[in-house]
Structure 1
Amino acid sequence: MTQRTDVVVVGGGQSGLAAGYHLRRLGVEHVILDAQAAPGGAWQHTWDSLRLFSPAPYSSLPGRLMPPQPGEPYPDAGHVVSYLADYEKRYGLPVHRGVWVSAVHRDGAFLRVETDGGDWQTRAVVSATGTWTRPFLPAVPGRRNFTGRQLHTVQYRSPAEFAGQRVIVVGGGNSGAQIATDLAGTAELTWVTQRPPRYLADDIDGRALFDAATARRRALDDGRSDSGGVASLGDIVAVPPVRAARDAGLLHAKPMFTRLTATGVEWADGARAEADAVIWCTGFRPALAPFAALRLRGTRGHIAADGTRAVDEPRLHLLGYGDWTGPASATLIGVGRPARDAARDIASLLR
């Protein structure tokens, strides 16, 4: 049986909830289809010590400030999950859980959303699927030859399982720095980065990053020169644990190795390091597989967008994937504005 609604939001994490909030305010009928069994999006699956880059009030979705976490200036992932669950309940958002969206097709004047629980016919779709389900692993020579354990950021939980082991952490971004910090002192750590680590100034957190991303987008929209945005400030937010490990001399990055061997890694000069495990903190790609049938994918796996609206399919909006769908839109505080713009655009389309 096919169900009908004006808008289907695919994904019930922070971006999907922000979209639901603004659609609800505009009186637009919609459903939010989420594959997860419980609220919280990808925040349910992060490593134990993960902390936000900003204080709670600066990590909030539209309409509802995140309350502080007692004793934690930068809240942990569990606090975010609780906040998202409360947010969903507070605004009565129509989230359907445990629903896996397999494909979206054009169906005349409508879009047809295929799920494992039946189809939905809708006039517009918001893609809020995020990136967590599409971890990226670089094509490094010898990766299949390594006999130790390999895992990505998404599989890492705590340093306890690596106690006393030789661990190589690959990645010079926030995930790499935080996981390297987590392991320092517990494992025999080797931290590897493409370029020397670039720490942001200690007094910079997510508030400044959001402002920098917004200023860059405004400059580009106005035809002014590119300020560089967040990338111009650095790659790593010096949250307190990272700052402490850095200042204690526990974080020494080596350049990227050239290949993996059966028992470790090797650099261009022939130097080697043995390893029991390699943790790839090498980022993600947008999870856009359900939209393959629309044939919209372009360079780097992105769908060309004007703001959040897909250029070649105006009934589709993309939300929360990064600057290409709105300044800082992959962050809690940053997704509100593009979600508002998408909801307004959709309301106009429906009229």
Structure 2
Amino acid sequence: MSEVLDVMVVGGGQAGLAVGYHLRRLGGLDFLVLDAQPTPGGAWQHTWESLRLFSPAAYSSLPGRIMPPQQGEEYPTAAHVVDYLTDYEHRYELPVQRSVRVEAVRRDGDHLRVETDSGVRRARAVVSTTGTWTRPFLPAVAGRNSFSGRQLHTVEYRTPEEFAGMRVIVVGGGNSGAQIAADLVHHAELTWVTRRPTRFLADDIDGRALFDHATARRRAFDQGLADGGGVASLGDIVAVPPVRRARDTGLLKARPMFASVTANGVEWADGTQAEADAIIWCTGFRPALAHLAPLGLRGSRGRISIRGTEAVGEPRLHLLGYGDWTGPASATLVGVGRPAREAVRDIAALLGRDGRRG
């Protein structure tokens, strides 16, 4: 039988690294991080080139290591984040193995059996931090399969130059939709479409305020107080500089959602049509949880019921970084530290370890 580790972390992006940091700091537990990517950086290494964080570097940091500022940029680029995560992984000598894809997690007596494309591992506890980037969501819109042009999701968009001179429809009223629309305004004939009227946050609100709001909401829950609403209650779009410039010059105006897709474009309920060469669906993601299917834990909306970060039906499993349901702002760099610390604390208690070596 193969060696049994105390903790196996599935996913080596920002959430997995935060868990690794707290496991390293706690001490006393043998752990390994399995990552499907060939290089460090998680999903950040696959985003579009102009992507900006919502907060300055100092407010976009993982536990233990403040992100250094990026010269000439108030809001760091995705490439800067990749460099930071690479340095973070090396700085704390986190045991990350690549490229290892986890295919299934199963119960195996007192252990959890982790089946990968390079063999079987066993652990006393598993933390799943696979995120959402690998599960892009495309809405069921009438006629979507009839479109003769190019269709792509946020995950496939890279630069505006490849759409130069084209008629492009961007669908989605969140941050991705707004940033990609702003990226395209000077290169393409743009139509930006949103399901509801656009809601820009106040210009002085960025990720710092959003994290503070999410933290205050968590405290209210803990104290049994009324729910004042999540960060979505403040608005949908952070006005990072490129978005703000496009909005203020009148180039970033959204139209309501169309009723159907046609062979040559889209059509609204009143019969109005718009022709397009490409449609970019900035319509979000779903949690990447297929590897946990053998545990039979998924409920409504594809989620697993959790208590804190612990799976209700399997206390040896923790989930982290999939959104607010796995911890306030847990899908952000600055927000993942606290739930990562709590998950490690709970795992140590479950395994009867006090964190001291020896």
TM-score (norm 2): 0.97
Provide the C-alpha distance between the structure 2 equivalents of 1:3 and 1:93, rounded to a whole number of angstroms: 19
The answer to whether residue 47 in structure 2 is matched with residue 22 in structure 1 is no
Quote how far apart the aligned CAs of 1:214 are. 1.1
The answer to whether residue 82 in structure 2 is matched with residue 60 in structure 1 is no
SS at match of 1:144: helix
Q: Show the counterpart of 2:220.
A: 219
Q: Is the 8 A contact 1:215 1:229 kept in 2?
A: no
Provide the C-alpha distance between the structure 1 equivalents of 2:136 and 2:315, rounded to a whole number of angstroms: 28
Provide the C-alpha distance between the structure 1 equivalents of 2:33 and 2:91, rounded to a whole number of angstroms: 15
Q: Show the counterpart of 2:291.
A: 290
Provide the C-alpha distance between the structure 2 equivalents of 1:165 and 1:282, rounded to a whole number of angstroms: 21
Provide the C-alpha distance between the structure 1 equivalents of 2:230 and 2:193, rounded to a whole number of angstroms: 25
Quote how far apart the aligned CAs of 1:54 are. 0.3
Alignment map for 1:105-254 (pairs within 5 Å): 105-254=106-255
Provide the C-alpha distance between the structure 2 equivalents of 1:145 and 1:91, rounded to a whole number of angstroms: 51
Counterpart of 1:242, as a letter, is V
Q: Show the counterpart of 1:93.
A: 94
Quote how far apart the aligned CAs of 1:263 are. 0.5
Quote how far apart the aligned CAs of 1:232 are. 1.1
Q: Show the counterpart of 2:355.
A: none
Counterpart of 1:81, as a letter, is V
SS at match of 1:71: coil
Counterpart of 2:79, as a letter, is G
Q: Show the counterpart of 1:334.
A: 335
Q: Show the counterpart of 1:47.
A: 48
TM-superposition CA deviations, 1:16-42 (whole Å, max 9, x none): 000000011111210000000000000
Q: Show the counterpart of 1:345.
A: 346
Quote how far apart the aligned CAs of 1:238 are. 0.3
Quote how far apart the aligned CAs of 1:226 are. 1.1
Q: Show the counterpart of 1:5.
A: 5
Q: Is the 8 A contact 1:2 1:118 kept in 2?
A: no
Q: Is the 8 A contact 1:3 1:119 kept in 2?
A: no
List alignment gaps of at least 5 residues for structure 1.
none
Counterpart of 1:297, as a letter, is R
Quote how far apart the aligned CAs of 1:192 are. 0.1
Counterpart of 2:19, as a letter, is A
Provide the C-alpha distance between the structure 2 equivalents of 1:4 and 1:133, rounded to a whole number of angstroms: 28
How many residue pairs match? The answer is 351
Counterpart of 2:205, as a letter, is I
SS at match of 1:35: coil
Counterpart of 1:130, as a letter, is G
Counterpart of 2:25, as a letter, is R
Counterpart of 2:11, as a letter, is G
Quote how far apart the aligned CAs of 1:122 are. 0.5
Provide the C-alpha distance between the structure 2 equivalents of 1:3 and 1:55, rounded to a whole number of angstroms: 43
TM-score (norm 1): 0.99
Provide the C-alpha distance between the structure 2 equivalents of 1:95 and 1:52, rounded to a whole number of angstroms: 25
Quote how far apart the aligned CAs of 1:2 are. 3.0
Provide the C-alpha distance between the structure 2 equivalents of 1:4 and 1:166, rounded to a whole number of angstroms: 55
Counterpart of 2:332, as a letter, is T
Alignment map for 1:75-94 (pairs within 5 Å): 75-94=76-95
Quote how far apart the aligned CAs of 1:236 are. 0.2
Q: Show the counterpart of 2:36.
A: 35
CA RMSD of aligned residues (A): 0.7
SS at match of 2:8: strand
Quote how far apart the aligned CAs of 1:4 are. 2.3
Counterpart of 2:323, as a letter, is G
Quote how far apart the aligned CAs of 1:217 are. 1.8
Q: Show the counterpart of 1:319.
A: 320
SS at match of 2:80: helix
List alignment gaps of at least 5 residues for structure 2.
353-358
Identity value in percent: 75
Counterpart of 1:153, as a letter, is T
Provide the C-alpha distance between the structure 2 equivalents of 1:33 and 1:3, rounded to a whole number of angstroms: 15
Provide the C-alpha distance between the structure 2 equivalents of 1:77 and 1:30, rounded to a whole number of angstroms: 28
Provide the C-alpha distance between the structure 2 equivalents of 1:345 and 1:142, rounded to a whole number of angstroms: 48
